[in-house]
Amino acid sequence: MRNVKNSHKVLQKIIIYDKLCLSETLPITLPISRVYQIGGEMLLTIKDIARISGYAVSTVSRALNDHPDINPETKKRICRIVEEYNYSPNRNARFLKQSSGKNVLLIVKGNANLFFTPILEQIQSSAGKKGLSVTVSYISENDNEITEAVRICEEMKPMGIIFIGGNVCIFQRDFSKLSAPCVLCTAYAGKLGFANLSSVSVDDFQGGKAAATKLCKLGHRRIGILSGDNKSEGPFRERFSGICNALSEYGIDEAERFTEICEFSFRSAYEKAYKLISEHSDLTAVIAMSDIIAIGAVRAFSDMRLKIPDDISVIGFDGLELAKFYTPRITTLYQPVDKLADISVKKLVEMIENNDEASHILLEAEYVSGETTKKREI
Per-residue pLDDT reduced to its tens digit, 335-378? 999 999 999 999 999 999 999 999 999 999 999 999 999 998 76
Same domain, 24 and 172: yes
Examine residue 235 and say whether the peptide bond preceding it is cis (omega within 30 degrees of 0).
no
Note if the bond before 309 is cis, omega within 30 degrees: yes
Q: Do 209 and 107 share a structural domain?
A: no
- Please give the model's pTM, rounded to 2 decimal places: 0.74
> Are 265 and 171 members of one domain?
no
What is the crossing angle of helices 72-84 and 46-53, to 10°? 110
Q: Which residues contact 268 (CB under 8 A, 6 or more apart)?
A: 262, 296
Q: Per the structure, how many domains does the chain have?
A: 2
Q: SS3 of 199, please? A: strand
75 with 218, same domain: the answer is no
> Are both 144 and 265 inside the same structural domain?
no
Burial class for 305, CB neighbours closer than 10 Å (0-12, 13-18, 19+):
exposed
Residues 147 and 234 in one domain: no
Q: Are residues 58 and 169 in the same domain?
A: yes
Selected residue with higher pLDDT from 158 and 36: 158
Q: How many CB atoms lie within 10 A of CB 230?
A: 22
Q: Where are the alpha helices (DSSP H) in the chain?
A: 7-11, 46-53, 57-64, 72-84, 94-98, 116-129, 145-153, 168-174, 204-217, 235-249, 266-279, 291-303, 321-325, 337-353
DSSP symbol at 372: S
Could you tell me if 21 and 169 lie in one domain?
yes
Q: Are residues 16 and 146 in the same domain?
A: yes
Q: Where in the sequence is the domain holding 277, given as residue range(s)?
A: 204-335
Q: What rounded mean pLDDT belongs to the chain?
A: 83
Average pLDDT over residues 304-333: 97
**251-294 pLDDT per residue, tens:** 998 777 899 999 888 999 999 999 999 999 999 999 999 999 99
**Residue 219: other Cβ atoms inside 10 A:** 14
3-class DSSP assignment, residue 227:
strand
User: What are the φ/ψ torsions at residue 331 (nearest 5 degrees)?
Assistant: -75, 135
pLDDT score recorded for residue 19 = 31
CB 88 within 8 A of CB 24: yes
Nearest-angstrom CA–CA distance, 182 and 345: 10
Angstrom distance (rounded) from CA 146 to CA 167: 10
Separation between Cα atoms, residue 47 and residue 60, nearest integer Å: 9
Instruction: Tell me the C-alpha distance between 356 and 360, whole Å.
Output: 12
Specify whether 172 is located in the same domain as 268: no
Residue 358: DSSP 8-state? P
